[in-house]
Amino acid sequence: MRGASLVRALHDLLGPAKVLGTHDELLIYEYDGAVDTATPDAVALPETTADVSALARFCHEHAVPIVPRGAGTGLSGGAIPVEGGVVVSFARMARILEIDPENLRAVVQPGVVNLHLSTATAPYGLHFVPDPSSQKACTLGGNVAENSGGPHTLAYGVTTNHVTGLEIVLSDGSVVRLGGKAIEDEGYDLVGTFVGSEGTLGIVTEITVKLTPLPEEKRTLMAAFATMDAASETVSSIIAAGIVPSAIEMMDQLATEAVEAAVHAGYPLDAGGILLVEVDGARDGLDEQLARIERICRSHQATTIRLATTAIERERLWAGRKGAFAAMGRLSPDYYVQDGVIPRTRLPDILRLVKAAGERHGLRVANVFHAGDGNLHPLLLFDARKGPEGLERAKEAGLEILTACIEAGGSLTGEHGVGMEKNCYMPLQFTSADLAAMRRVKDAFDPAGLANPGKIFPTPSRCREFALGARS
C-alpha cells in the first residue's frame, strides 16, 4: 500500500490531524542533515505510545516500511525513507514525564530536545551529559538511535552510558519495556543493543536517562598552535600525562576562519590549529590540573594560550565550536562531513592524509572535531549548484578518509551513525560473519524487515557499484 490510498488509510487509523500526505508536506521530510534524500509516502505525528503501536501494527499488516524521525539533524541519512513508507515524526511526543533527582533519573519522550532536559534539571543541580553540537535542536530519541556523543563524552561517555531504560514499539506493534531506573548488570544488555541501532530494531517511545550532578567548577582553555601537527601531538601528550579533561576539541585554520566570522569568539586567525580544552569537577585541584595542561601546551610551542575568565567568555568559546558546522556556509554552499575514528597517536598522519585527499579531488577541507577521543569530522566543501560531480568527488574523498581510519585501527563512525551514508562501507570494517551476526539480531526483533530498511547493512541496490567484499 502506497501513495494516496496509504494516506487515506492512515487518516482512518489515526485521524487527519496526525497525518501529512500532500506533496509539499512530504518534501519537508525527505532529508536530514546529510546529503541523501528520499520522499516518504506519508508522515505520521503520533501523540502517544498507543498511536505508535497502532501505526506499527498497521504497517506490519500491509508491508509498509516505518522510519522514526526526531529533529532531522542526523548526519548519516538515518531518518531518510530510502524505501518509502511512513515517516514517524516525534514532534508531538516531546514531554519530560518525570524528573527523579533522588535517583538521578529522568523519564522522557523521544521528541524532547537534548538541551531542554539539562535546562529542566539544572535547578536540581543536575544535567544530561551527552551534548552533541546540535543539542539546541536534536532530540533524545535521535540521540538514542545514533548513540550520539559530543565534546564532553571524552570523560563521561556517549549516550549508551547514560540510558538505563527504554519503552520500545516493535515493528509488529508490540510494546515492550527494557531496563528501568536501576542499572542492570545481569543477562543480555538489550538496552545497549537498542541504543545505536538507528531505528532498525524498533521504535523508542520512552527513555529513562541517568542524570549527572553539575560540576562544582569548570575551567576552559584555548590554545593556538602554528601547525595541526603541534596541536595533535599536544592532545596525545595531555592524555599520556594521565590527564583526562572533560573535553578536548580541535579546529584547523580554515574552520577557524569561518567560526570567527560567525561568532567572534576571539580565535586567532593565523593559527594552523586550535585546541579547546575543558576540565571540570571539584574546585580543589582544578587549577593545578589546568596549569599542567598549560605547561604541556607551551612545551609544544603554543603561540597563544587564553583562559576563559568568565562564564560569558567560556560560552563564547564553546559557541564557536558548537556552531562550526553552521558557520561553514560562509565558506561554501554545501559540505559533506565524515565521522571516522582513529587512535589519538595517529592524528598527525591521518590529518595530513585528509588534506591530501581533499587536494586530490579538488576540494577544500575544514577540520573541526573531538580530538580527545580521535573522532574526526572533516568537512569536504563543494558547490552542488555546479552539478553533481562536486558531491561525487566529496564522497570519493570521504571513502579514502574512512579507509585510512580503518587501516589505522579506527572505525567508520564515532557518533553520526552508519545510516544510508556508510552502509556500503561496512565491509571495510566488518567480516561477512560479523554482518551476518548483526543481521540475525535485526531479524530477531524485526523479522519482516520493515523497521527503517536500507540502513546499516549494505544493500545490493545501492552498494554493488562499490564492489566491496566483506573481510573474511
Q: How does pLDDT run across 299-342, given as a tens digit for each residue?
A: 999 999 999 999 999 999 999 999 999 999 999 999 999 999 99
End-to-end CA distance of the chain: 40
Which pLDDT does position 167 carry in this prediction? 98
Q: Quick one: pLDDT band at residue 253, thresholds 50, 70, 90?
A: very high
Q: Quick one: pLDDT band at residue 425, thresholds 50, 70, 90?
A: very high
Domain annotation for the chain: domains and CATH numbers: 3-89 (3.30.43.10), 96-213 (3.30.465.10), 217-327 (3.30.70.2190), 332-443 (3.30.70.2740)
How many residues can be counted in the chain? 472
Which pLDDT does position 73 carry in this prediction? 95
Q: Could you give the count of Cα atoms lying within 13 Å of 299 in the half-sphere of its Cβ?
A: 13
Is the whole model's pTM more than 0.85, yes or no? yes
Which pLDDT does position 119 carry in this prediction? 98
Which pLDDT does position 471 carry in this prediction? 53
The region that residue 225 occupies, defined by phi over 0 for left and psi between -120 and 50 for alpha, beta otherwise, is beta
pLDDT digit string (tens) for 181-231? 998 777 899 999 999 999 999 999 999 999 999 999 999 999 999 999 999
Q: Which residues make Cβ contacts (< 8 Å) with residue 4, sequence separation at least 6?
A: 21
For 53, other C-beta atoms within 10 Å of its C-beta total 19
Helices (H), 274-346: 286-299, 311-322, 324-327
Indicate the pairing of strand 42-44 with strand 66-69: unpaired
Which pLDDT does position 465 carry in this prediction? 57
Task: Give the C-alpha separation, 48 to 97, whole Å.
Answer: 12
pLDDT digit string (tens) for 2-30? 888 999 999 999 999 999 999 999 999 99
Q: Quick one: pLDDT band at residue 460, thresholds 50, 70, 90?
A: confident
pLDDT digit string (tens) for 151-164? 998 999 999 999 99
Q: Quick one: pLDDT band at residue 100, thresholds 50, 70, 90?
A: very high
Which pLDDT does position 230 carry in this prediction? 97
Cell output for 273:
590549529
Which pLDDT does position 461 carry in this prediction? 79
H helix or E strand, kind and range, residue 439? helix 432-445
Q: Quick one: pLDDT band at residue 53, thresholds 50, 70, 90?
A: very high
H helix or E strand, kind and range, residue 444? helix 432-445
Which pLDDT does position 466 carry in this prediction? 56
State mean pLDDT over 375-403.
Answer: 96
Cell output for 251:
579546529
Q: Quick one: pLDDT band at residue 462, thresholds 50, 70, 90?
A: confident
Task: Give the C-alpha separation, 245 to 279, whole Å.
Answer: 5
